[in-house]
Structure 1
Amino acid sequence: MFRPAGFYSDSDEDSEFGYDFGYSKSESVKQIDNKIPPTANTNNDDALYQATVDGNLDEVQLILEADKYLLNGCLRHGWPLLLLACNEAQYAIVEFLLEEKRIDVNQNWGLKTALMAACESTRNSEDVLKLVSLLLEFGAVINCTDSYGMTPLMFAITNGHTEVVKLMIDQASLEATDNEGLTALFHAVNSNQPEVVKLLLKSGASTDIINRRGFTPKQEAEFKGYQEVAQLFPADQDFYTIPNKYLSYNHYRDLCYGETENDMPGYHQEIGLLLFGSYSEQHLGVFAKEGFDLMQYLTLTDSELKDLGFQLPFERKKILFGLLKFHRQTWSKRSMKKFDKDCVLDSYDLFEMLGNHLKHLTVMQASLVYVAQMKSLSGGNAELGSLLTKCQMKLEPMRQAVALLEKEIEKIHRLSTRPVLHIDADTPRNQKKWKGWSTTRVIFIIVISGALTSLVRFLRK
Structure 2
Amino acid sequence: MDPSESVTNYRPAGYSDDSDSDDGDFSFEPIKLPVRVITVKERYQSIVIQEKFPEFETIFKEELNSDANFIFDNGWTPLMYTCFHGRPAMADYLLERNADPNAHAESTTPLMLLSMNSFATDDELSYIAGKLMDHGAILNLGDRYGITPLMRAVESGRTGLVKIMLERNANIEMRDRQGWTAMFWAVYNRRAIFVEHLISIGARITEVDRYNRTVLDIAEATDNKGIVLMLEPHFTKQTIQSHHIVCSDPEDWFEYYPGLRSDHKMLYKEEMVNMLYGMNCEHLTSLLLNHGVDLGKLLLLEEKDMIKMGIKLQFERRRMKLGIRSFHLRNWKLKAVAGLYASQNVDFSVLDCLEITGNTLMQVYVLNASVLYVAREFKKLQRQISESDDKYLTEMADTIKKWIYNINKMRKEILEMEKLIKIIQDRSPKPVEPIAPPNPYTAVLSASIIGSVTFGLCYLTYRCVVRSVVGLLRMRVDVPEINAKGNR
- 1:53 equivalent in alignment to 2:52: no
Alpha-carbon separation, structure 2, partners of 1:375 and 1:252: 45
Q: Residues 176 and 184 of structure 1 are in contact (CA less than 8 Å); yes or no, is this contact kept in structure 2? A: yes
Where do 1:336-351 residues align within 5 Å? 337=334, 347=353
Residue type of the alignment partner of 1:362: A
> Which has the greater radius of gyration?
2
Per the alignment, residue 317 of structure 2 pairs with: 320
Residues 43, 191 of structure 1: CA spacing in aligned structure 2 closer, same or farther, 3 A cutoff? Answer: same
Q: Tell me how far 1:44 sits from its aligned partner.
A: 1.5
Residue type of the alignment partner of 1:232: M
Instruction: Find the partner of 2:372 among 365, 378, 383.
Output: 365
Residues 365, 199 of structure 1: CA spacing in aligned structure 2 closer, same or farther, 3 A cutoff? Answer: same
Q: Tell me how far 1:54 sits from its aligned partner.
A: 3.5
Where do 1:8-407 residues align within 5 Å? 43-55=39-51, 56=53, 57-62=56-61, 64-65=63-64, 71-75=70-74, 79-103=76-100, 105-122=101-118, 123-169=120-166, 171-211=169-209, 216-218=214-216, 220-221=218-219, 224-233=222-231, 235=233, 237-239=235-237, 240=239, 241-242=241-242, 266-269=267-270, 271-272=272-273, 275-276=276-277, 279-310=280-311, 313=312, 315=313, 317-326=314-323, 334-335=331-332, 337=334, 347=353, 352=359, 355-356=362-363, 358-369=365-376
Residue type of the alignment partner of 2:182: A
Alpha-carbon separation, structure 2, partners of 1:162 and 1:72: 31
Alpha-carbon separation, structure 2, partners of 1:259 and 1:173: 47
- Runs of 4+ aligned structure 1 residues displaced above 6 Å come to 67-70, 251-256, 259-264, 342-346, 373-380
Residue type of the alignment partner of 2:194: V
Q: Residues 68 and 98 of structure 2 are in contact (CA less than 8 Å); yes or no, is this contact kept in structure 1? A: no
Q: Which moved more, 1:241-250 or 1:133-142?
A: 241-250
Alpha-carbon separation, structure 1, partners of 2:104 and 2:125: 18
Q: Tell me how far 1:351 sits from its aligned partner.
A: 5.5
Q: Residues 269 and 295 of structure 2 are in contact (CA less than 8 Å); yes or no, is this contact kept in structure 1? A: yes
Q: Tell me how far 1:161 sits from its aligned partner.
A: 1.2
Residues 325, 192 of structure 1: CA spacing in aligned structure 2 closer, same or farther, 3 A cutoff? Answer: closer
* SS, match of residue 285 in structure 1: helix
Alpha-carbon separation, structure 2, partners of 1:64 and 1:233: 54
Alpha-carbon separation, structure 1, partners of 2:215 and 2:226: 13
Residue type of the alignment partner of 1:366: Y
Structure 2 gap segments, 5+ residues each: 1-36, 388-488
Q: Tell me how far 1:46 sits from its aligned partner.
A: 1.6
Alpha-carbon separation, structure 2, partners of 1:183 and 1:333: 31
Residue type of the alignment partner of 1:173: N
Alpha-carbon separation, structure 2, partners of 1:193 and 1:245: 30
Residues 331, 101 of structure 1: CA spacing in aligned structure 2 closer, same or farther, 3 A cutoff? Answer: same
Alpha-carbon deviations, 1:48-84, whole Å to 9, x = none?
Answer: 2223334443144136535979823442xx7454433
Q: Residues 209 and 283 of structure 2 are in contact (CA less than 8 Å); yes or no, is this contact kept in structure 1? A: no
Q: Residues 336 and 356 of structure 1 are in contact (CA less than 8 Å); yes or no, is this contact kept in structure 2? A: no
Q: Tell me how far 1:184 sits from its aligned partner.
A: 1.6
Alpha-carbon separation, structure 2, partners of 1:121 and 1:298: 45
Residues 357, 306 of structure 1: CA spacing in aligned structure 2 closer, same or farther, 3 A cutoff? Answer: closer
Residue type of the alignment partner of 1:286: L
Structure 1 gap segments, 5+ residues each: 1-40, 381-461
Q: Tell me how far 1:86 sits from its aligned partner.
A: 1.9
Residues 213, 319 of structure 1: CA spacing in aligned structure 2 closer, same or farther, 3 A cutoff? Answer: closer
Alpha-carbon separation, structure 2, partners of 1:248 and 1:92: 61
Q: Residues 255 and 352 of structure 1 are in contact (CA less than 8 Å); yes or no, is this contact kept in structure 2? A: no
Q: Tell me how far 1:159 sits from its aligned partner.
A: 0.8
Alpha-carbon separation, structure 1, partners of 2:234 and 2:247: 26
Alpha-carbon separation, structure 1, partners of 2:286 and 2:186: 23
Q: Residues 300 and 369 of structure 2 are in contact (CA less than 8 Å); yes or no, is this contact kept in structure 1? A: no
Q: Which has the higher helix share?
A: 2
Alpha-carbon separation, structure 2, partners of 1:253 and 1:94: 70
Residues 73, 248 of structure 1: CA spacing in aligned structure 2 closer, same or farther, 3 A cutoff? Answer: farther
Residue type of the alignment partner of 2:170: A
* SS, match of residue 187 in structure 1: helix
Larger RCO (CA under 8 A, 6+ residues apart) = 1
TM-score (norm 1): 0.57
Q: Tell me how far 1:357 sits from its aligned partner.
A: 5.2
Alpha-carbon separation, structure 1, partners of 2:260 and 2:134: 57
Alpha-carbon separation, structure 2, partners of 1:139 and 1:109: 18
Number of equivalenced pairs: 333
Alpha-carbon deviations, 1:65-108, whole Å to 9, x = none?
Answer: 35979823442xx74544332222233444444452452x3333
Per the alignment, residue 397 of structure 2 pairs with: none
Q: Residues 175 and 181 of structure 2 are in contact (CA less than 8 Å); yes or no, is this contact kept in structure 1? A: yes
Q: Residues 52 and 60 of structure 1 are in contact (CA less than 8 Å); yes or no, is this contact kept in structure 2? A: no
Q: Tell me how far 1:204 sits from its aligned partner.
A: 0.5
Residue type of the alignment partner of 2:64: E
User: What is the aligned-residue identity percentage?
Assistant: 18
Alpha-carbon separation, structure 2, partners of 1:157 and 1:126: 16
TM-score (norm 2): 0.55
Alpha-carbon deviations, 1:377-412, whole Å to 9, x = none?
Answer: 9977xxxxxxxxxxxxxxxxxxxxxxxxxxxxxxxx
